[in-house]
């Protein structure tokens, strides 16, 4: 969501960060993989062809890159990481602690975190409502 607003380097760094996010608790689930594919489509074919689908050796460097980013970029990155953690109904404490560590490093307030989570909930609710409408 809103990944098209990132520049080339931000997109590449985001992909690196999200790969770490889905790998923190093992292999990505089928649902996480589907969401990753949607995110890959959003960043664009040129970025996908340039990206190496392997975890970077230096997660700290990737996080540090976003620490220096603008508040808008930080919010977009965090929003999409939240979306990954909330894509399935399974609550994973490992993902939660990873996400909280990122939030703290990016200096995202609790208030902003709640706002971003609300966006993800609203999107999920809209998708479910659309399914009900088209199925009845």
Q: What SS3 string covers 42-80?
A: HHCHHHHHHCCCCCCCCHHHHHHHHHCCCHHHHHHHHHH
The number of residues making up the chain comes to: 136
112-116-121 Cα angle (round to 5): 140
Look up the CATH architecture of domain 3-135. Answer: Orthogonal Bundle (1.10)
Nearest Cα to Cα of residue 42 among 95, 79, 86, 88: 79
- Please give the residue that has the higher pLDDT: either 111 or 127: 111
- How far is Cα of residue 89 from the mean position of the Cα atoms in its chain? 16
In angstroms, the CA 44 to CA 131 distance is: 27
In angstroms, the CA 127 to CA 56 distance is: 33
pLDDT of residue 116: 96
In angstroms, the CA 119 to CA 114 distance is: 9
Q: What is the pTM of this model?
A: 0.88
- Round the CA-based radius of gyration of the chain to a whole number and report it: 15
pLDDT of residue 55: 64
- Please give the residue that has the higher pLDDT: either 65 or 51: 65
Sequence ranges of the domains in the chain: 3-135
- Chain segment 73-102, per-residue pLDDT in tens: 999 999 999 998 888 766 678 888 999 999
pLDDT of residue 45: 78
pLDDT of residue 104: 97
- Chain segment 4-50, per-residue pLDDT in tens: 999 999 999 999 899 888 888 777 778 878 888 888 888 887 887 77
pLDDT of residue 53: 62
């Amino acid at each position: 969501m809103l990944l098209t607003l990132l520049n080339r380097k931000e997109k590449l760094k985001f992909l690196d960060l999200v790969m770490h996010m889905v790998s923190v608790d093992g292999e990505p689930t089928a649902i996480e993989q589907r969401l990753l594919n949607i995110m890959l489509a959003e960043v664009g074919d040129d970025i996908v062809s340039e990206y190496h689908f392997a975890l970077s050796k230096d997660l700290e460097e990737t996080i540090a890159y976003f620490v220096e980013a603008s508040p808008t970029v930080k919010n977009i990155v965090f929003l999409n990481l939240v979306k990954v953690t909330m894509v399935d109904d399974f609550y994973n404490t490992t993902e939660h602690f990873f996400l909280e560590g990122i939030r703290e490093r990016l200096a995202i307030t609790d208030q902003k975190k709640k706002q971003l989570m609300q966006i993800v909930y609203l999107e999920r609710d809209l998708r479910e409502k659309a399914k009900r409408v088209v199925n009845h």
